[in-house]
């Protein structure tokens, strides 16, 4: 399911004087032109300098100026983009700069040449590769189902070309291959979250996972009979009101030959959530096609890791269900027995994601004995009340592990905030009739949801839960994403593996 319109092709070449098409220069304040920028301005008879003065363009960070048809040659336009101070080692800042370049230089038609110099300094090949990744992330769009645009049938578009001029272009190409692998994972996650639920059910989602076998990922799909045999009654209860059968998918990437406990990522994959019998209000329910944002992050991360051949053993697990309210749907007051043997009183059928994750957590520990688990889920509205759309909430049984996740988020821009767990919160989910109930009431809803999941973590396994309800979709537009689905979590999980689990 490709993103539309097609994202640009990014290539790298050694510095040379551009002679045609569109060109983008990075400027410091003043504006201060780089050596290549000054040479281009001179070749154009000083047109760029004069245009900047006439437009009072001072090269402030984030500000841009478009100069149309400068000189008498074949250069159609030149863009000047102001850039502030960027730390050399801040990879995400260079990726964001790529997004700014795409925002300034790609509207319209034709190809673009980027002069990768910043003031008196040359951009390194690694920084240029990050810029290329940012260009592609910002260029993402989802118009798959549009038959008309502005009243007209849109012409089929070919991919644009962006050429980045940088010294050591071969090194840049190699670095970009890794960056672009991660972009491919983010793109997959965005595509899946953007898909309507009538096109993406549990079976279709599982089929998307099976495509990763082409990259060397071992994919196993459990149907309802297999899950019933495993005792996954909590997960199965969520989907019993839907005419679409539930699935549990495992994706194994073995990046090292030696046997070692893998890190495991688990994603909530509720392809559509009506709330079940505890039905949601109609307003905004269409957004619940994105209630599988956690699973999208997991499959996206697995694609990124496999594409770049990560030297680590990683397992991705997705519980895929649809929560619908027909005559067979579970009811408030039902009691189900999870795979772990623990019993759950269902107080609210709209607190369904934690039932899916409960069995997925038990299955992960039984089958893979992981070194660490991170589960991701669009789990609660409460986390949005607490953190808005800027941060995901991180809950963990080990503070040091939570700190690693938060740090990975800072490095990638997938921001996360460490939230509390404690026995006092745990008391709120005790049940009169079962081992626990699936909601603790109005207060601290994100925390009690995490406490619920914590009860399914066994034998001191290192575990963290990420509530991504505010970040997986409908998050604010930024330098790297102008759409609805963000692809949140893919870059964070990849960075977590790269920093702590790759040999």
pLDDT digits (tens, 9 = 90+) for 293-334: 999 999 999 999 999 999 999 999 999 999 999 999 999 999
Q: Residue 391 pLDDT > 70, yes or no?
A: yes
Residue 366 tokens, joined = 């039984």
Report the candidate in 221, 457, 429 with the shortest Cα–Cα distance to residue 340. Answer: 457
Residue 487 tokens, joined = 């692809």
- Stretch 386-392: mean pLDDT, rounded? 97
Q: Provide CB contacts within 8 A for 168, sequence distance 6+.
A: 124, 125
Beta-sheet strand order (sheet of 372-377): 218-222, 247-254, 313-323, 263-273, 372-377, 462-467, 392-396, 416-418
Instruction: Please give the Cα distance from 46 to 443 (Å, whole number).
Output: 64
Report the candidate in 354, 426, 428, 419 with the shortest Cα–Cα distance to residue 386. Answer: 419
**Measuring CA to CA, how many Å separate 33 from each of 57, 130, 436?**
12, 21, 65
pLDDT at 1: 64
Share of the chain above pLDDT 70, in %: 98
Residues belonging to the active site: 280, 354
**What residues pair up with 152 in beta bridges, in sequence order?**
149
pLDDT at 426: 95
Contact 358, 338 (CB under 8 A): yes
Structure-token match 């730390």, residue found: 87
Structure-token match 């984030």, residue found: 62
- Stretch 51-58: mean pLDDT, rounded? 96
**What residues pair up with 335 in beta bridges, in sequence order?**
345
What are the DSSP E strand ranges found in 235-386?
247-254, 263-273, 313-323, 335-337, 343-345, 372-377
Report the candidate in 428, 425, 404, 424 with the shortest Cα–Cα distance to residue 416. Answer: 404
Q: For residue 156, name the pLDDT band (cuts at 50, 70, 90).
A: low
Q: Provide CB contacts within 8 A for 354, sequence distance 6+.
A: 377, 379, 438, 449, 452, 453
pLDDT at 154: 61
Q: Residue 14 pLDDT > 60, yes or no?
A: yes
Report the candidate in 339, 341, 381 with the shortest Cα–Cα distance to residue 469. Answer: 381
Distance of CA 228 to the CA centre of its chain: 31
pLDDT at 372: 98
Task: Give me the chain's average pLDDT, please.
Answer: 95
pLDDT at 2: 56
pTM (2 d.p.): 0.96
Encode pLDDT of 239-291 as tens digits.
999 999 999 999 999 999 888 999 999 999 999 999 999 999 999 999 999 99
Q: What is the DSSP letter of 499?
A: H
Q: What is the dihedral of CA 192, 198, 201, 205, to 10 degrees?
A: -30
Encode pLDDT of 79-91 as tens digits.
999 998 899 899 9
Phi, psi (rounded to 5 degrees) for 233? -75, -25
Residue 470 tokens, joined = 């505010």
Q: For residue 71, name the pLDDT band (cuts at 50, 70, 90).
A: confident
């Amino acid at each position: 399911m490709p993103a539309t319109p097609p994202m640009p092709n990014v290539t790298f070449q050694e510095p040379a004087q551009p002679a045609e098409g569109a060109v983008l220069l990075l400027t410091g304040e003043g504006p201060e032109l780089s050596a290549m920028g000054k040479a281009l301005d001179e070749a154009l008879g000083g047109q760029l300098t004069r245009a900047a003065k006439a437009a009072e363009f001072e090269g402030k960070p984030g500000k841009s100026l478009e100069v149309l048809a400068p000189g008498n040659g074949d250069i159609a336009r030149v863009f000047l983009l102001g850039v502030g101070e960027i730390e050399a080692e801040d990879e995400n800042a260079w990726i964001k700069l790529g997004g700014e370049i795409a925002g300034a230089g790609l509207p319209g038609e034709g190809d673009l040449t980027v002069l990768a110099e910043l003031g008196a300094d040359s951009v390194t090949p690694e920084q240029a590769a990050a810029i290329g990744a940012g260009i592609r992330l910002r260029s993402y769009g989802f118009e798959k189902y549009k038959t008309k645009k502005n009243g007209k049938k849109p012409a089929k578009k070919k991919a644009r070309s962006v050429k980045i001029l940088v010294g050591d272009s071969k090194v840049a190409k190699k670095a970009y291959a890794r960056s672009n692998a991660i972009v491919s994972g983010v793109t997959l996650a965005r595509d899946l979250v953007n898909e309507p639920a009538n096109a993406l059910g549990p079976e279709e989602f599982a089929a998307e996972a099976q495509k990763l076998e082409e990259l060397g990922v071992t994919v196993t799909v459990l149907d309802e009979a297999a899950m019933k045999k495993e005792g996954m009654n909590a997960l199965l209860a969520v989907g019993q009101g839907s005419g679409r059968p539930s699935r549990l998918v495992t994706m194994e990437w073995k990046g090292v030959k030696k046997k070692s406990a893998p890190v495991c990522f688990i994603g909530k994959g509720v392809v559509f959530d009506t709330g079940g019998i505890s039905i949601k209000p109609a307003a905004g329910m269409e957004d619940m096609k994105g209630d599988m944002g956690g699973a999208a992050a997991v499959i996206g991360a697995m694609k990124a890791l496999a594409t770049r051949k990560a030297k680590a053993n990683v397992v991705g697990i997705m519980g895929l269900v649809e929560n619908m309210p027909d005559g067979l749907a579970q009811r408030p007051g039902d009691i189900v027995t999870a795979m772990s043997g623990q019993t759950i009183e269902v107080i609210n059928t709209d607190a369904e994601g934690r039932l899916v994750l409960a069995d997925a957590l038990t299955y992960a520990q039984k089958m893979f004995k992981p070194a660490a688990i991170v589960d991701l889920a669009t789990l609660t509205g409460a986390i949005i009340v607490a953190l808005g759309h800027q941060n995901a909430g991180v809950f963990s049984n080990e503070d040091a592990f939570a700190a690693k996740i938060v740090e990975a988020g800072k490095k990638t821009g997938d921001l996360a905030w460490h939230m509390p767990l404690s026995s006092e919160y745990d008391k709120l989910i005790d049940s009169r009739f079962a081992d626990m109930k699936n909601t603790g009431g109005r207060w601290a809803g994100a925390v009690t949801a995490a406490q619920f999941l914590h009860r399914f973590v066994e034998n001191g396994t290192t575990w963290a839960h990420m509530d991504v309800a505010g970040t997986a979709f409908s998050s604010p537009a930024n330098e790297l994403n102008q759409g609805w689905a963000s692809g949140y979590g893919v870059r964070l999980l990849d960075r977590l593996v790269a920093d702590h689990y790759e040999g």
